[in-house]
Structure 1
Amino acid sequence: MPTIEFEGDTIEANTGDNLRQTLLDAELTPHNGKAQYTNCRGNGICGTCAVEIVEGKVADPAEKELRRLKLPPHSPDSGLRLACQIPIKDDLVVQKHPGYWGQKIEHDDI
């Protein structure tokens, strides 16, 4: 049974479960602020559930997800993924970044 680490919580999931729905079922949200109310409900068109997969393996993005990640404020090169489009297959460490769409990635400059 895969585990998901998200914002200090660790939850268990079934293989094949959807990441967004798994987080919501655990009373966690992949959305920031008002996006938790004004999102596409997992249809892959709003982009507000964008997260970074810090550890673990997920399938490559399908065309639907890539289409949304090509639209501002996202970029397909950002490394972000839409939680609503990710089936869970492995243990994951997931990070949500600031911004309405979770697009404000803050890098540590050394």
Structure 2
Amino acid sequence: MDDGNGRVDDSDAEGCGGDGEVRVVVRHGDAETVTRAAVGTTLRDHLLDHGLSPYARLTERANCGGNGLCATCGVRIPAGEPDPTHWHDRLAARFGYPRLSCQIRIRGPMVVELVEDKRVWGGRE
């Protein structure tokens, strides 16, 4: 879980299992959902599989389908954030914009915040 300093405490049995799955905590609105994800899964797909959409109402149906082109699946990752590999994510990380969930592979435990106040894209921090 988040240790209060933006890091995920994965020292407990819930963080990293020997089964190739890791703990993903998703904060949405005033709620928090704890899920387990297979290492290597795309964060966008994992969120959608658990009924947690990274999209705004407007972009729920009008998006690129996870190809990293529309920038509408942005999320914030306050703990367990992987290094950016996609050009958009490198810029987002540098300038404080949400990261593209379709371009993030889950590698370890993480905390994810859905951006609730976006119309299309999320604003800067």
Corresponding position of 2:123: 104
TM-score (norm 1): 0.78
Corresponding position of 2:53: 29
Corresponding position of 2:113: 95
Unaligned runs of 5+ in 1: none
Aligned to 1:20, the other structure's residue is in SS state helix
After superposition, the Cα gap between the structure-2 partners of 1:62 and 1:75, relative to the gap in structure 1 and judged at 3 Å, is closer
Q: Where has structure 1 moved over 3 Å in runs of 4 or more?
A: none
Counterpart pick for 2:103 among 85, 88, 92:
85
Corresponding position of 1:56: 80
TM-score (norm 2): 0.70
* Distance in 2 separating the partners of 1:16 and 1:75: 20
Alignment: residue pair count: 100
% same residue: 28
Partner deviation per Cα, 1:23-44 (whole Å, 9 max, x = no partner): 0111111111121111111010
* Distance in 1 separating the partners of 2:100 and 2:78: 14
Q: Which has the bigger relative contact order, CA under 8 A and spacing at least 6?
A: 1
Q: Is the 8 A contact 1:48 1:100 kept in 2?
A: no
Unaligned runs of 5+ in 2: 1-20
1:60, CA displacement in angstroms?
Answer: 2.0
Partner deviation per Cα, 1:59-81 (whole Å, 9 max, x = no partner): 32323x34xx76xxx78501421
| Amino acid in the other structure paired with 2:72 | T
Q: Is the 8 A contact 1:30 1:51 kept in 2?
A: yes
The CA RMSD measured in Å over matched residues stands at: 2.1
Between structure 1 and structure 2, the one with the greater Rg is 2
